[in-house]
Structure 1
């Protein structure tokens, strides 16, 4: 599908922006998830209990929430591309801190690295929102968001090999250098992509409230915020517990891991498919509503499945969650950018994503509580899908949505 003539300079600039921001998010995802992939080597070397991984994840989620709420003014003042460079530098600093070893440095690593990786999305959304035709925002943003699973796959492939060659500290430092190197490589593009920056804009602690107010003051952005919380929460539950759940059903670890990897791969074309549909075949609101119901149904199917069920049923549930709970990002972020007040695309997407971080903290806690009370992994999947049902019903209600602010 052609969005514009290849000779159109605006089209060429959009392609350059899309490529730069996609690679930026790939490196950010690689850096953020690298420690998780090599966690067994780190835990063994430092003689730590595996429970510390959960603490690291929680600190990273808190850092993501904090930086996404506060990044709007920095994007406006310094520009989206400079903020992207800073985000990659933060990821690199976080990785370098982890290589130091002591637990306090790991906490700093999670806070800075998690925050940096989280800022990469609002910054790229702000930039692409400037150059994308409004009609094709869902497609452009969905293509850009495929960089996240690409980063996950790179971490899965590179991390074990680098750790074998260099040791876990050397592998972490090499990845930090790669993130920093790409941040420097972005510099020649800054003159064009940061031409809209406002140097007089200053950061104020009231920006946190301003960002929240921007995404809760209007009905449409408020709906997107709660949708992001439900979607991101269920996505985190699926990623965190799917493999373990399958092993309790009698699957071997290798088989469970293979099924999870296959599901993750399906999310890449899934994101592009929904982006295309949200651009030319359906409104983003309706599409997100159906995706919400689809992920709730898939989560329920997974939760009700048992060890004596055919593997095909479990695979269908996993694919369903991949195509929904792992594939909504581009459509939702594009709609948030479209509805954002003028000059606040980065703030609006950061605010909406901050609700997603709340969901990523809350729903795994709900799942853990249900598991502790009932001993049932399946019941947790069923209950964690219920918020998505409420979101789907809300988004599919008839009624003309308000016009965007841009």
Structure 2
């Protein structure tokens, strides 16, 4: 599950991370990156909100395979360089990539020891920073050596290879699939209503919206910000991004261990919200004349907070989920994250078009994360009284 999460993240992150090269080659506006991200987020929203029944009916591994195949196809068709196919590729790839987390949560929620769930989920979610790190290093290098079209085709092929690698595992892990599971819109509605009726899960939905939204700004615009806004070349910008993402791997494991042993997950998530807000404000403040190490340090701070919380939150969602409904509940909560990944990039693109600068977009993401963090702390204090 960690490996498939790695390649799912690699596939979804590649286009934004090499967008600077695509923008120059096709002569299009940089703000269209936000549109690409938004289209993918709409598709991901549809997947996460409705994938619960499919996971129960066909199995988590089978749905992961279907998702990775769709992601590879979405990347491959964008190589034509035609904007409508970029939109189609974003949609198809978003549909596929989004099933990765609900499927793995379904498996880990069933198999992981309950007291170690935050740590186990955090280890699995290390696939996200590893995938981002690979994308930050491999994709720009492929662009330099062979062009952005070849880079996308290579990543697409890697997604197909994951589909094949998962096939021998399907029989052993999809033993709980139920071929008679109905696929009904009413079931989707019931999932969402059930999540929103539970106060604790409702807070997780708001946190997911804000945190995923801010993360999408970092992963979708940071390299573009360094190249177009601060004058970095693409390879240097990719290296700064990769350095920042590397630390997210031990950070995720560290937060998971902390939440498993010493700190309540809800409290830790509140502090992480405040921390990522502060890091986003610093990101907005980077100046072109600052040394590279300063930009890398600030990006690292945002990575440690804004790209490292997932395992803690997903384990908490699994703990709060009804028995046998972890995949469906996780999908419903993740749908709010996809909504954040839709709304915030659009706001970022609007701010970029209106102001010509990148700072305002990062500040918008910081404000939402700060609100979640402060409310979470207030709620924890009131619960102890």
TM-score between both structures, scaled by the size of structure 1: 0.83
Query: Equivalent of 1:79, from 32, 35, 59?
Result: 59
Higher relative contact order (CA 8 A, sep 6+): 2
Query: Equivalent of 1:92, from 64, 72, 91?
Result: 72
- Residues 291-333 of structure 1, C-alpha deviations (whole Å, 9 max, x = no match): 1111122223444566687877655543321111111111111
Query: Equivalent of 2:122, from 103, 126, 142?
Result: 142
Query: Equivalent of 2:250, from 265, 269, 272?
Result: 269
Query: Equivalent of 2:334, from 353, 365, 368?
Result: 353
1 CA distance for matches of 2:157 and 2:219?
28
> Greater shift after overlay, 334-343 or 292-301?
292-301
1 CA distance for matches of 2:228 and 2:72?
37
- Residues 133-186 of structure 1, C-alpha deviations (whole Å, 9 max, x = no match): 111111111111111221222233333455566665454344333322221221
2 CA distance for matches of 1:106 and 1:250?
26
> Greater shift after overlay, 30-39 or 144-153?
30-39
- Residues 349-396 of structure 1, C-alpha deviations (whole Å, 9 max, x = no match): 111111112112222333444555666644543343222222122322
Tell me if the contact between 1:233 and 1:360 (Cα under 8 Å) persists in the aligned partners.
yes
Secondary structure of the structure 2 residue equivalent to 1:348: helix
- Quote the residue 2:320 is aligned against: 339
- Residues 218-241 of structure 1, C-alpha deviations (whole Å, 9 max, x = no match): 011100110011111122223344
Matches within 5 A, 1:319-330: 319-330=300-311
Query: Equivalent of 1:188, from 168, 173, 177?
Result: 168
- Quote the residue 1:364 is aligned against: 345
Tell me if the contact between 1:249 and 1:306 (Cα under 8 Å) persists in the aligned partners.
no
- Quote the residue 2:271 is aligned against: 290
Query: Equivalent of 1:384, from 362, 365, 369?
Result: 365
1 CA distance for matches of 2:36 and 2:352?
21
> Greater shift after overlay, 36-45 or 110-119?
36-45
2 CA distance for matches of 1:155 and 1:309?
25
How many residue pairs align between the two structures? 381
| TM superposition shift of 1:57 | 2.1
| TM superposition shift of 1:48 | 4.9
| TM superposition shift of 1:340 | 0.9
> Greater shift after overlay, 350-359 or 259-268?
259-268
- Residues 178-216 of structure 1, C-alpha deviations (whole Å, 9 max, x = no match): 322221221222222111111111211223322321321
| TM superposition shift of 1:122 | 0.7
2 CA distance for matches of 1:301 and 1:160?
25
Matches within 5 A, 1:241-256: 241-243=221-223, 252-253=232-233
Residues 379 and 50 of structure 1, relative CA distance in 2, 3 Å threshold: closer
| TM superposition shift of 1:42 | 4.9
Tell me if the contact between 2:56 and 2:181 (Cα under 8 Å) persists in the aligned partners.
yes
Residues 151 and 240 of structure 1, relative CA distance in 2, 3 Å threshold: closer
- Quote the residue 1:151 is aligned against: 131
Tell me if the contact between 1:290 and 1:392 (Cα under 8 Å) persists in the aligned partners.
yes
Larger radius of gyration: 1
- Quote the residue 1:5 is aligned against: none
- Quote the residue 2:47 is aligned against: 67
Residues 185 and 392 of structure 1, relative CA distance in 2, 3 Å threshold: same
2 CA distance for matches of 1:75 and 1:287?
30
The gaps in structure 2 that reach 5 residues or longer are: none
1:204 maps to 2:184: yes
Matches within 5 A, 1:280-319: 280-303=261-284, 316-319=297-300
> Greater shift after overlay, 293-302 or 95-104?
95-104
> Greater shift after overlay, 167-176 or 84-93?
167-176
Tell me if the contact between 2:35 and 2:345 (Cα under 8 Å) persists in the aligned partners.
no
Residues 355 and 187 of structure 1, relative CA distance in 2, 3 Å threshold: same
| TM superposition shift of 1:264 | 1.7
| TM superposition shift of 1:64 | 0.9
2 CA distance for matches of 1:167 and 1:372?
27
- Quote the residue 1:233 is aligned against: 213
1:223 maps to 2:203: yes
- Quote the residue 1:279 is aligned against: 260
TM-score between both structures, scaled by the size of structure 2: 0.87
Secondary structure of the structure 1 residue equivalent to 2:247: helix
Tell me if the contact between 1:76 and 1:343 (Cα under 8 Å) persists in the aligned partners.
no
